[in-house]
Structure 1
Amino acid sequence: MRVTDENFIKHLKKKREEALQYVIDEYMGIIKAIIYNALKSYNDPQIIEECISDTFLGAYENAKQFRGDKEDFRRWICTIAKFKAISKQRRLSKMPYFYELNETGEAAISAEEEYLIKTTTEEVLIMMTQLEQLDRDIFTMKYFLNMKNEEIAIHYGLTKAAIDNRLYRGKKRLQQIRLGGSMT
């Protein structure tokens, strides 16, 4: 039997390798983007490739636990990718990290990368608990599932501008929380 868009989940649950190959072909782009965005500061393609492989292997091994349709599967495998990347970050953060140096001998690191290194994912998740449920969901979709603002807007029946505003206000709120202030 041929693995298709309609039956790949059923075949993956039966541990058919053709279904795994279908999933890899179908979802490689988004999985690679999620993991690359999370691990790019380590500047090591081997780490990224290993994490991508771990993601697909994790989906293959745990397919029987999955419940839902194709769209749910996309979110599920993206969540696996994000958590594999977070796990890899935690392991790597315990190891010495060497920065690339620029011409002046200073670490060539952007402000965003510096913030990400200082603020662990766990801290961000804890801070996010202080946001409203809708804002937490929007942040999760945007920054953990790498969904576009337009996709999130369609999902919630809101305008793209409303999503943009919620993300902006949420970032400001998280910044206030991190600095120890309160914005009520």
Structure 2
Amino acid sequence: MHISEEELITRLKIKDSAALEFLMDRYGSTMYLFAQRILDSYGSREDVEECVSDVFIMAWNRIDEYDPLRSSLQTWMYMLTKYRALDCRRKLTDRPQLVVIDDDLTNSDNLERTVIQKAETEEILRIVDSYGSIDRTIFYKKYYLYESLDMIASALGLTRKSVENRLRRTRNALKEQLILAWKEDISHE
């Protein structure tokens, strides 16, 4: 079965279980490898499998939060996986987590900073998603999958130097686009 991303999203929103199965087939192994990389030596294979299962349950329950104008479905799945795997990693560490109630957490400046950081992350993902397939893939493999330059080069059939150059150009272009967006925001204030 092959369906477009738009149709997949539509079917997930109406809770079509076949669409969930298709989503799992399409992204399951990729999300597993990503979660495995984040959990690394913290958990077992079963922990990684549980983490990825949780990601698909989250996607099923939160599909209405997905915004195709902000990112591709794959990017959204990577973000869900990243945050779920980091949560799992924290739970798997033997150190008890100390909960500190900080008056600063209720400070409106911190709330504003958190909102701004989220918006900046979404803007970065939106910009990166507009890049060509190879540059976008290199960016995500490096900064979201934490792959080494050698691993990326090998997977894409490129030289390490080529990957370095493409990554540098992508970072520079991203920096320029973010500066332009920032200047535009300031001029509207």
TM-score (normalizing by structure 2): 0.52
Overall identity of the aligned pairs, in %: 25
Query: Which residue is equivalent to 2:73?
Result: 73
1:160 pairs, out of 154, 163, 166, with 163
- The answer to whether the Cα contact below 8 Å between 1:35 and 1:52 also exists between their aligned partners in 2 is yes
CA deviation vs aligned residue, 1:48-87 (integer Å, no higher than 9, x gap): 1110100111111000111217x70000001100110001
Task: Note the C-alpha offset of 1:166.
Answer: 7.7
1:64 is the counterpart of 2:78: no
Structure showing the higher helix proportion among its residues: 2
Aligned AA (2:54)? D
Query: Which residue is equivalent to 1:87?
Result: 87
Query: Which residue is equivalent to 2:158?
Result: none
Aligned AA (2:163)? K
Query: Which residue is equivalent to 2:3?
Result: 4
- The answer to whether the Cα contact below 8 Å between 1:13 and 1:63 also exists between their aligned partners in 2 is yes
- The answer to whether the Cα contact below 8 Å between 1:149 and 1:164 also exists between their aligned partners in 2 is no
Task: Note the C-alpha offset of 1:89.
Answer: 1.0
Name whichever of 46-55 and 85-94 sits farther off. 85-94
Instruction: State the SS of the aligned residue for 2:72.
Output: helix
Distance in 2 between the 1:149 and 1:163 partners?
12
Runs of 4+ in 1 over 6 A off after TM superposition: 137-140
Instruction: State the SS of the aligned residue for 1:42.
Output: coil
Task: Note the C-alpha offset of 1:13.
Answer: 1.2
The 1:166–1:4 alpha-carbon spacing in structure 2 relative to 1, beyond 3 Å, is closer
Query: Which residue is equivalent to 1:38?
Result: 38
Task: Note the C-alpha offset of 1:161.
Answer: 3.2
- The answer to whether the Cα contact below 8 Å between 2:13 and 2:64 also exists between their aligned partners in 1 is yes
Distance in 1 between the 2:90 and 2:17 partners?
31
- The answer to whether the Cα contact below 8 Å between 1:12 and 1:19 also exists between their aligned partners in 2 is yes
Task: Note the C-alpha offset of 1:42.
Answer: 2.5
Distance in 2 between the 1:93 and 1:43 partners?
9
Distance in 1 between the 2:163 and 2:49 partners?
33
Task: Note the C-alpha offset of 1:5.
Answer: 2.5
- The answer to whether the Cα contact below 8 Å between 2:37 and 2:146 also exists between their aligned partners in 1 is no
- The answer to whether the Cα contact below 8 Å between 2:37 and 2:145 also exists between their aligned partners in 1 is no
TM-score (normalizing by structure 1): 0.54
Query: Which residue is equivalent to 2:16?
Result: 16
Query: Which residue is equivalent to 1:54?
Result: 54
Query: Which residue is equivalent to 2:133?
Result: none
The 1:32–1:11 alpha-carbon spacing in structure 2 relative to 1, beyond 3 Å, is same
Distance in 2 between the 1:3 and 1:10 partners?
14
